[in-house]
Structure 1
Amino acid sequence: MQRNVDSKLSSQSELWLKDFIDVYQTLSTKNLGLLETIYHKEVTFIDPIHQIEGLDNLHRYFQHLYENLSSCDFVIEHVISQEKEAAIYWQMSYQHPKLNKGKIVEVQGSSHIKSQEDKIIYHRDYLDLGAMLYEQLPVFGQLTKWIKTRAAN
């Protein structure tokens, strides 16, 4: 899938987007310094649980996040871009020793990103927090799945 994304991002004006995709598909605790190459120092990062302002705070957030994971991988599946912003559709696979009995969890999500000065100034993630977290907890997971089933009927 990565090759298809690369072929669509060949123009110089979208180099910031290609860099973002490349970094996210290789990000780990060992290379969090790469965040500085793609994010603006005044970045706003939003996910279903947090809103983070500034590159230093974002770096600390990622450091804490990755410290608790056994593994975390992103596969970029589709990108829609226009000028200085993009929608990115991805699949995250992660492993946490206390969630899903330590087995890999896969979550679909998307990100809306905007660039300024060829770096990401705004990043908002959209994902099913229940699928990512709540459903992976022993008792709460069963309750969350039951609620989803009842709501669907």
Structure 2
Amino acid sequence: MKKDRLTDTLQGAPLWLSNFVTVYQKLSTDNLQLLSTIYHEQVTFIDPIHKVEGFDDLYQYFTNLYQNLSSCDFIIDDVIWQGSQASIFWTMSYKHPKLNKGNCVIVLGSSHIQGADSKVIYHRDYLDLGAMLYEQLPVFGKLTKWIKNKAAN
């Protein structure tokens, strides 16, 4: 999404949503402390791997996820919001030395988020875990791709 269109989409949006988009577009392995500016102390975070309750556990989860990454960037492609809820559509690109031969992996996904007390209190990610992880592993990746192809035909 072009920045000007994203800016137009977020015009009049709640502060918690604007902050979320801003932080995720600059989030990296070096600035995870920014998470405290957008997540509520009692946040619930769900992705295909885990469910985490509370900010301290969420911060630890992110720290563990990011510790072996060479890079991780998000591009916010679109935002749809109404009241205290929003859907965020994003593209994540990351590099891990042991996945995809250390090359960039690109994953499309979306998030359902809810705001409370000027921060995000609920965040659920939807993404293809196979594309993000399994397909990037040497042997398991080939098997996963083969299964996907068989299922599609």
TM-score (norm 1): 0.96
1:34 aligns with 2:34: yes
Which secondary structure state, in structure 1, belongs to the residue aligned with residue 72 of structure 2?
strand
Letter matched to residue 150 of structure 1: K
Specify the alignment match of 1:103 in structure 2: 103
Residue correspondence of structure 1 range 4-153 to structure 2 within 5 A? 4-11=5-12, 13-153=13-153
Letter matched to residue 74 of structure 1: F
Report % sequence identity: 64
Q: CA deviation at 1:55?
A: 0.4
Q: CA deviation at 1:28?
A: 1.7
Distance in 2, matches of 1:113 and 1:100, equals: 30
Contact 2:29 2:71 survives alignment (8 Å): no
Q: CA deviation at 1:2?
A: 3.0
Q: CA deviation at 1:75?
A: 0.3
Distance in 2, matches of 1:55 and 1:24, equals: 16
Contact 1:45 1:51 survives alignment (8 Å): yes
Specify the alignment match of 1:3 in structure 2: 4
Q: CA deviation at 1:134?
A: 0.3
Contact 2:16 2:119 survives alignment (8 Å): yes
Alignment deviations for residues 30-81 of structure 1 (CA, whole Å, 9 cap, x no partner) = 2211111100000000000100000001111111111110000000001110
Distance in 2, matches of 1:3 and 1:101, equals: 35
Letter matched to residue 96 of structure 1: H
Which secondary structure state, in structure 2, belongs to the residue aligned with residue 98 of structure 1?
coil
RMSD: 0.9
Which secondary structure state, in structure 2, belongs to the residue aligned with residue 29 of structure 1?
coil
Moved over 4 A (4+): none
Which secondary structure state, in structure 1, belongs to the residue aligned with residue 144 of structure 2?
helix
TM-score (norm 2): 0.96
- The answer to which of 56-65 and 107-116 deviates more is 56-65
The runs of 5 or more residues in structure 1 that have no matched partner are none
Distance in 2, matches of 1:17 and 1:79, equals: 9
Aligned length: 152
The runs of 5 or more residues in structure 2 that have no matched partner are none
